Amino acid sequence: MMDEGPGSARRLLGVFAHPDDEVFCAGGTMARAARAGAEVMIVSATRGERGQIRDPPAATRRTLGAVRSEELRAAAAELGVRRVQVLAYPDGTLQQHRSSLGAAVADIMRRFDPDTVITFGADGGYGHPDHVAISELTTKAFRALALNRNRGRLYHAVFPPRRTCMAEELACWIAGPGQRATDRAARQAIALFAGEAATMRLARDDVRTEWFPPGTGVIEQGEPVDALYLILNGTAEALLEHPGGQVTHVRRMQAGDFFGEHDLVTGHGAAHVVARDSLTCLVLSRAPIRPYAGRGAGATSAAEPPGAGPPPGTCAVDVTSYLHRKLAALARHRTQYPIVPSMLPRSLLQNMLGTEFFTRSADGSGNAAASRWAKAPRTRRPAGRPSPRHLRRHRDPSPHPPRTAAPHATLPPAHVPDLRSAKVTRD
């Protein structure tokens, strides 16, 4: 039978490192499962007390851990999840608490008895040490549970490079009704999404913040343009140079204004853009800037990056119908994302967050490879031939007795035996 993905769970457990991980990893999937009647539980190993404080009135460094724990519960409620547990290990130190944290996760699994578990992939999504640790410990605990109960599914949330281009999506949004990020919150929302998109590969843009001294030419008329600019601070002038050399003023731009959207579509600058005073811009390019490329040397390639899209075997869960719940949950993490989802175009949010990707672990019960391995006949040693252990005992001058191999130590680490066909010896 084809795998229906983690959304078909009856008892779904999500194990993550920090509050807000649950939204990006599996927020829509958990909302979908909860809506279908599944019992869903979220576990966060830390309170996230070393995170950002992007909304200063919401928390201080002293209170951030407690505030983020409550934000997690509020976000879970938006997803329809009733059970939340925060283990309160020190943020950023999970690698140092492997033994006790692993035991705590295993105990939760035994008590909650999930048929489906979701956590990060082995790379932690993007290499975060806490994410890597919780992935490894959750996977280990699941394997032990599956071995004892001969059932269950484990999914790793993965973040394959997306084809979405924020610069193009925003350019179409801006060029239509003439959108402006008129207040600080709107500019912050766009900057936050751009930053998260770059970190988690939710979009393929190169995202950076650039400062231009007064009088600097940001765009030259007629030069290749492959980026969208959002003014974060300062002012700029758009100037049109005519064939005869005359220059006329087109418009003055200030914080919250975009420029480059029409140039992004046509591929060349329609006018000069010059920093009037000290100017800071968020810049979203369709491809990274080439080192030492001169102005007018040609636009960077807008071709799709190699490897874009999920790898073979990835389970893609469409959560478009639950996107509103996912965005509401994200907004509940106010200290990290002080945003209003309507500040961004719906099409962009859907492309970035409307599908969640998972790989199913090959270590759960019922694995065909594991079953074949368990059923493989054991090779018998010819009569009269000394065992390798006997030879090691005579060759090893050490006074210590040989170590006894652990049960199943000869099995490949990526498999566990099928209990229906394998005998387990208990001490």
DSSP 81-148: --EEEEEEEPTT-GGGGHHHHHHHHHHHHHHH--SEEEEE-TTHHHH-HHHHHHHHHHHHHHHHHHHH
The alpha carbon torsion through 87, 88, 93, 98 (nearest 10 deg) reads -30
What distance, in Å, lies between the first and last C-alpha atoms of the chain?
Answer: 37
Q: Rg (Cα) of the chain, in Å, rounded?
A: 27
Closest CA to 155 of 16, 326, 328, 322: 16
Segment among 87-101, 380-394, 403-417 with least mean pLDDT: 403-417
CA distances to 73, 143, 299, 327 from 27, in Å: 13, 24, 38, 9
Closest CA to 329 of 9, 7, 22: 22
Q: Is pLDDT larger for residue 33 or for residue 165?
A: 33
> Is 80 exceeded by the pLDDT of residue 98?
yes
Predicted pLDDT of residue 292: 57
Predicted pLDDT of residue 108: 98
Predicted pLDDT of residue 147: 79
> Is 80 exceeded by the pLDDT of residue 7?
no
Can you tell me the mean pLDDT for 60-77?
Answer: 98
C-alpha 385/C-alpha 372 separation (Å) is 28
> What band does 379 get if pLDDT is binned at 50, 70 and 90?
very low
Q: Is pLDDT larger for residue 244 or for residue 184?
A: 244
Closest CA to 81 of 73, 70, 92: 73
Can you tell me the mean pLDDT for 405-425?
Answer: 34
Can you tell me the mean pLDDT for 363-372?
Answer: 40
> What band does 291 get if pLDDT is binned at 50, 70 and 90?
low
Look at the block and give the residue holding tokens 């549970």. Answer: 145
The pTM for the full model equals 0.76
Predicted pLDDT of residue 169: 85
Predicted pLDDT of residue 296: 53
Can you tell me the mean pLDDT for 319-334?
Answer: 96
Q: Which domains, and CATH codes, for the chain?
A: 6-160+310-360 (3.40.50.10320), 166-285 (2.60.120.10)
Backbone angles phi and psi of 323, in degrees to 5: -60, -35
C-alpha 314/C-alpha 358 separation (Å) is 6
Burial class of 135 by CB neighbour count within 10 A (0 to 12, 13 to 18, 19+) = buried
> What band does 350 get if pLDDT is binned at 50, 70 and 90?
very high
CB 357 within 8 A of CB 160: yes
CA distances to 30, 196, 206 from 166, in Å: 26, 12, 10
User: Side-chain half-sphere of 61: how many Cα atoms within 13 Å?
Assistant: 1
